[in-house]
Amino acid sequence: MKFFKWFAFTLAVMVFWLVVNVVSTKQGWFSHAIAPLKNNSVFMEKTKKSIHDTLKGNVVMLLIENGNIIDEYTLSKGESVNRDSIFGVSSLGKWVAAMGIMTLVEQGRLDLDKPVSVYLTRWQLPKSQFDNSGVTIRRLLSHTAGITDGLGHNGFATRGQVQPLTDHLTRALDGDEGADGRVMVGIQPGSKFQYSGGSYNLLQLIVEEVSGMSFEDYMTEAVFTPLGMNSTSYRHDNVENLAQYFDENGEVRAYPFYTSLAATGLYSSANDLHKLVRLHLPVQVQESSSNPILSQLSLKEMRTPHASNTGIDIWGLGVMLFAPNNDDDFIIGHGGSSPSLNASMRLNPSNGNAIIVLETGNKFLAADTATQWTLWETGNPDIYMLKNMIPVMLSRVLIGCVLIFIVSLIIAWRRRG
């Protein structure tokens, strides 16, 4: 009986130690923001120094408060850049594409929960061992449709090499090394989160099928023009004010051409992306009660959790949920990364505070800067910071449990003596 009491007590202390570490890690008790809360000048001072010391190419950063740009920083190793310079934004375009999808949902032309096969005539998902009818718009948007392409797109060197969309869905020729490249169901739809660029290639086809327009034309008509995003498109050739694309060695390289427009082919400026921030302003700080493309209900649905990882909500409908914002909502947005190109955009929908970082030459500079902004804005570590903190937390838990066991054993031994 004494042994079982000792064992139960020791186990309870270990469980308590585990819970304390999990909670403290999620709440950011061991994380420290680079500047005091609300101190914009110190945040900008430290962020500028960090960027200046590590930048290998060019960068445009906007700091936004209540939907308004309050500070900015630009720097380039080559031609100068500004808030109107156009960068490739890679996967950040998935969030923008999702807004286009939601306009079709609001029009009643798409149903989030119908099998996508009902909208397709030019191409269909290949047969699989799973139920393909479980592949829906909602699940494609949230990366829970069970698609296992592994994409990742490197693009093509010339426009003439670009694959037709249906061929690309069958097997992408520009996938990352080791990627399967086939858009097919390899996991039971709805069973888990599995990031999939191919899901957005399929959404791109669905937009074309339902609208009767090219994906680029529909997005221009439904999203870019109403929002005044006049510098945003899926083409970079013959574009004025195109930012140079630096690699990690500081050499200028060419932007690629993509079949995968919805997944990774967007080109935009910080000024245009700022207009997306204003789309998400809370009602109490909006200049107008009308929204040019989406209702508040749809915007709320997009940032409602639809996918999680290790018990942490990470994805809505096309939008990443980076961290709780302490107001029963999330810091939302998206990032984009391809070789030596990085883009990140995050915003707090409760107050209209945001950050936009577009850069080339560094693989993670934009994401790292946005991670620091998230911690500074909310005091909460984002999903990337948490991922890096988990191994440290597990080591701390393991060491603590070993010490708890040893101490408990010593106390029990002494009492017995």
User: What local confidence, expressed as pLDDT, does residue 281 receive?
Assistant: 85
User: What local confidence, expressed as pLDDT, does residue 286 receive?
Assistant: 67
User: What local confidence, expressed as pLDDT, does residue 285 receive?
Assistant: 67
**Worst-scoring range by mean pLDDT, 21-25, 37-41, 111-115?**
21-25
Arithmetic mean of pLDDT, 74-80 = 97
**Counting beta carbons within 10 angstroms of the beta carbon of residue 283, is it exposed (0 to 12), middle (13 to 18) or buried (19 or more)?**
exposed
Helix (H, G, I), strand (E, B) or coil at 121: coil
Residue 8: pLDDT band (50, 70, 90) is confident
Q: Enter the pTM of the model.
A: 0.90
Handedness of CA 82, 87, 89, 93 (dihedral sign): positive
Cis peptide before 57 (omega within 30 of 0): no
67 within 8 A of 281, measured Cβ to Cβ: yes
Q: What is the 3-state secondary structure (H, E, C) of the chain?
A: CHHHHHHHHHHHHHHHHHHHHHHHHHHCCCCCCCCCCCCHHHHHHHHHHHHHHHCCCEEEEEEEECCEEEEEEEEECCCCCCCCCEEEEECHHHHHHHHHHHHHHHCCCCCCCCEHHHHCCCCCCCCCCCCHHHCEHHHHHCCCCCECCCCCECCECCHHHCCCHHHHHHCCCCECCCCCCCCCECCCCCCCCCCCHHHHHHHHHHHHHHHCCCHHHHHHHHHHHHHCCCCCECCCCCCCCECCEECCCCCEECCCECCCHHHHCEEEEHHHHHHHHHHCCCHHHCCCCCCCCCCHHHHHHHCCCCEEECCEEEECCCCEEEEECCCCCEEEEEEEEECCEEEEEEEECCCCEEEEEEEECCCCHHHHHHHHHHHHHHCCCCHHHHHHHHHHHHHHHHHHHHHHHHHHHHHHHHHHC
Query: Over pLDDT 70: what percentage of the chain?
Result: 96
**119-148, pLDDT tens digit by residue?**
999 999 999 999 999 999 999 999 999 999
Residue 384: pLDDT band (50, 70, 90) is confident
What are the residues whose beta carbons fall under 8 Å from the beta carbon of 236, sequence distance 6 or more?
86, 88, 242, 255, 267
Residue 251: pLDDT band (50, 70, 90) is very high
145 within 8 A of 199, measured Cβ to Cβ: yes
Rounded to the nearest integer, the mean pLDDT of the chain is: 93
